[in-house]
Amino acid sequence: MDFNTALTILIDGLEFSSYLFIVSVGLTLVFGVMKILNVAHANFYAWGAYMAAWLIGRWTNMGFSEGSTFLMIAVATIVVGLVLGYLVERCVLRYMYERDEVVTVLATFALFLILEDAILLIFGVDPYFADQPMFALGSIDIGGITRTVYGLTMIAVAIVVGIGLWLLLTKTTWGRLLIAVIHDREMSISMGINVKRVYIVTFILGAMLGALGGAYVAPTISVAPGFAVDVVVLSFAVVAIGGMGSIPGAIIGALIVGIARAIAVHNFPQVELFVVFAVMAIVLVFKPEGLFAPERSRKI
C-alpha cells in the first residue's frame, strides 16, 4: 500500500467516521438518558437529508448563491429535529416509558416503517441531488490527492458537535441534570428532577443530531428511497462497540467502524459490511457492554 492510498483511506475513514459520529451520538444520548434504543433514529437522518436536499434545491432556484445553501442545512436540521423529534416523543414514546425496553424498540421499529414511507409520500420516489454546497467550497490538494473541501468540513463539524456536547454536559446545569439521569433515573426523580422534561429535550437534541448527520451528508450523495436502512445498523454497531449511552464511546465506535470500513472498501470490497459487524460481535463478546459503557449505580 503506497502513501497515497493510505492517505485516501485515512481521509475517507475520518469523513465516514465523522458523520457516523454525528448520527450515533444522538442515538447514544437518547439511549443513555431514556433507555430507548431508537430504531427510528435513522428516520431523522433520512428526513434531514431529504429536507436539506429539497430546501437547497428551492433555495438555489430562488436565485441565492451556492455558498448560502449552508444555511439550508442548518434549517433542515433544526426543523426536522424540532418537529419530528417533538411529534415522535409526544405522540408515541412518552406512552412507552413504563413498558419493557424491548417492546419500546419494537415501537420505534413501527415508527421506522411509518416514517420511511412518509418520506416517499411527501418527497416522492425520485432521487434528489443537491451538490451546490460541495461546489461552493471546491476542492483541495492534500499530499498529492484531491479532496473536496466539503468532505473535510464534515470532520470539523463532528469535532464541533463533540466539543459542543462536552461543554453542554459538563459546564451547564442542564447537562449535569442529564448526567444525573443517565447515572440513576430513580434517584434523579426522588431528587426532584423533572425527568419528563429532561426526556423531551434530550430526545429533540438527539433527533437534531440525527437530522444534522443526514442534512450534512445529503450534498455528497443521491438522496433516494431506502438509503437510510443501512444507517440504522451501522449506528447500532457504533453505539454497541463504544458502549450504549457513552459519548466518548460514540467517538471511538465511529472511528473504529469508519476506518475499518474505509480499509475494507479500498482493499477487500467484498467484506465491507462483514468487517463492521464482525468487529461489533468481537467487541460484544469480550466486552458485553461495549468499550466505554457508562457506569451505572448498583441496584442490589
Partner 1 sequence: MNSSRDWTVPGLTIGLIAAIILGMLVPDWVLSVITISFARALAVIGLLVLWRAGLVSFGHALYYGLGAYTVALLGKYWGVHDVMLLIPAALIVSTVCGFLLGFILRKYREIFFAMLSLAFSMILYGILVKTESLGSTDGFNVGAPTFFGFKFEDVQDNKIAFFSFLCVLGYIAALLVHYYLRSTLGHLTTAIRDNEIRVEYLGYSVAKAIHIKYTMSAALAGVAGACLALTLSQVDPDSMVNWTASGELVFVTILSGTGNVAAPFIGSMIFDLLRTYAFEWAPHAWQLIVGAFLLLIIFFLPGGVWSVIARIFGARRKL
**Which stretches of the chain bind partner 1, using CB under 8 A?**
37, 39, 92, 95-96, 99, 101-103, 105-107, 109-114, 116-118, 120-121, 125, 229, 232-233, 236-237, 240, 244, 269-278, 280-281, 284-285, 288-289
Q: Which is nearer to partner 1, 78 or 275 (CB)?
A: 275
What grid cell was written down for 183? 447515572
Q: Which of 166, 144, 140 is nearest to 153 (CA)?
A: 140
Minimal distance in Å, beta carbon 34 to partner 1? 12
> Is the dihedral angle over the CA atoms 44, 49, 54, 59 positive or is it negative?
positive
Minimal distance in Å, beta carbon 184 to partner 1? 18
Distance CA 218, CA 72 (A): 11
Minimal distance in Å, beta carbon 299 to partner 1? 12
Q: Which is nearer to partner 1, 14 or 240 (CB)?
A: 240
Minimal distance in Å, beta carbon 13 to partner 1? 18
Q: What angle do CA 95, 99, 102 make, to 5 degrees?
A: 120
Distance CA 217, CA 154 (A): 8
Minimal distance in Å, beta carbon 58 to partner 1? 23
H/E element, 142: strand 139-142
Which backbone phi and psi does 297 adopt, to 5 degrees?
A: -70, 145
Q: Which is nearer to partner 1, 116 or 131 (CB)?
A: 116
Q: Which is nearer to partner 1, 108 or 132 (CB)?
A: 108
Q: Which is nearer to partner 1, 155 or 273 (CB)?
A: 273
Q: Which of 75, 84, 90, 16 is nearest to 212 (CA)?
A: 75
